[in-house]
Amino acid sequence: MKSFSSSSFAGQHADALALAHAAVRQHPQALFTDFQWFLYQGQDTVFFTAFSTQSYDKEGLGNMVAEMVALAPQLTHGFVGAEPGQPFPKHLLDAITSVEIVDELDGYPDKWLGKSSDIFERKDLPLFRVMAAVRRDGLDAGGRAAILQVRSSHALLEGSDSALLTRSAVAGHGLQSNKANKLPFWHRLRSGMRGGLTAFIYLVLANILAPKEKPWGFKTLALGRHRLRKLANKLGVRQRSLMFALVTHALNGEGNEKHMSQKVIGAAYTMLDTKRNNTDDDFFRVRALEAKFKVVEDFVDYVRLVDDTVAGIEQKDITSFQVTIMAMFKALRTLNRLVPGLPNKRFWRFNGGMHIVLTLVPPHRTYGPMTHGMVEPLYCGAWHSAANICTFCPGREYVTLNFSMEQRHIANVDRILDLLDEVERRDVGPHTMTPSVEKLR
């Protein structure tokens, strides 16, 4: 994972903000980039949640939201009546915060997790919510007095924002694309045409092949960072390769009845990259890569193949997939202006054969007033209507795995712990593979 920051590239962003109020009055999402528009239209959501040693009340949550808005002014965008960059009046703070009193904190945060569709029900409210559950009798045996959760439209927040806010740092977005780093014209033209074609193909295939809405499940898992680091060193692989392998191997299942694929698991994973170019999104820092992990029964062989795959992808040009995706978002937004009914509901249920999305967010380290009293593990995840998602959120002591996926996969999450136990017991030899697996490399 490369470093991240809240800095942006020079551009006309200040001039754009000068026109923000007029633009938002005409259309609430006028300031959204194509990527933001896509996530808003799909009603994608993200969450951050953590236990705390201190209690919360309505006034305290309101003050927290006011501080969040000061650090992340994009939270003031995207709803009817928005005043970009301005503090919220009290009636808005009251509407988007809630406190409940509970007897125990057992079962959290999983019992709280969901699609967060309520965020989009009122067009005149900000696109995020802050909620707390407070233990009736104060601290429990684990020293926890409450749990806090922030839920937001993904159009406003990404993993790096969550990491920055956790450190009480500025998470505002300037111009994230680097206009000075121009990709060759033919590269942009080719990727743009591919993006437009991809949008057309997805729309057609979605209306033919989109499945019915499936039961969805949510689950979290906390693993010790030292445990993962030690095992990755033992196997001679990257820690993120180990985490990717643990999740995909466990969810795919054993034997002939595979839950995802018998041969190849199609995955998209995200990373931060400081080598931005002029085709990158102007809001999001994250970039997407596409991977195909060949299925191997033996986990040690499998994790090493995953590690080789990740290394191969990142040694090549990693811009093509991102440029194509950006072009697809632009094409879909243009189509929506012409035909407001498109993309339709079936489109959002179609994932194009992608089995899973693996998102590794920057390290979350609590610091400052925003997260005073919060304790690890820290949880951070996302929901999308067509994507099985696992979000990896590293803290100081723990890495949490946050699952949002078809209910049929949730039962296999516990296999991750079994895999860890099994591999830790094994006497793993040098970084070599059996001849049959070596041929797959």
Phi, psi of 268 (to 5 degrees): -115, 135
Whether 5 is covered by a domain: the verdict is no
337 or 440, which is more confident: 337
Residues 219 and 143 in one domain: no
Rounded distance, CA 306 to CA 246, Å? 10
Radius of gyration of the CA atoms of the chain, in A: 22
Q: Given a cut of 50, is residue 342 above it in pLDDT?
A: yes
Whether 332 is covered by a domain: the verdict is no
Q: Given a cut of 70, is residue 199 above it in pLDDT?
A: yes
- pLDDT band at residue 192 using 50, 70 and 90 as cut-offs: confident
Residues 250 and 388 in one domain: yes
| pLDDT score for 6 | 44
Of the chain, the percentage scoring pLDDT greater than 90 comes to 74
| pLDDT score for 320 | 76
Whether 282 is covered by a domain: the verdict is yes
Q: Residue 261: give the domain boundaries.
A: 212-319+349-438
Whether 325 is covered by a domain: the verdict is no
Q: Given a cut of 90, is residue 38 above it in pLDDT?
A: yes
CA–CA distance from 64 to each of 48, 57, 59 (Å)? 14, 11, 9
Rounded distance, CA 194 to CA 172, Å? 32
- pLDDT band at residue 220 using 50, 70 and 90 as cut-offs: very high
- pLDDT band at residue 306 using 50, 70 and 90 as cut-offs: very high
DSSP-assigned beta bridge partners for residue 129:
151
Residues 228 and 149 in one domain: no
For residue 6, how many C-alpha atoms fall within 13 Å in the half-sphere facing its CB? 17
- pLDDT band at residue 8 using 50, 70 and 90 as cut-offs: low
| pLDDT score for 174 | 77
Whether 434 is covered by a domain: the verdict is yes
Q: Who contacts 209 (Cβ-Cβ below 8 Å, separation ≥6)?
A: 350
Whether 331 is covered by a domain: the verdict is no
The alpha carbon of residue 95 and the mean position of all alpha carbons in its chain are separated, in whole angstroms, by 25
Task: Give the number of domains in the chain.
Answer: 2
Whether 224 is covered by a domain: the verdict is yes
CB 160 within 8 A of CB 362: yes
pLDDT digits (tens, 9 = 90+) for 111-136: 999 999 999 999 999 999 999 999 99
Q: Given a cut of 70, is residue 155 above it in pLDDT?
A: yes
| pLDDT score for 255 | 80
What does DSSP say about strands 264-272 and 356-360: parallel, antiparallel, or unpaired? parallel
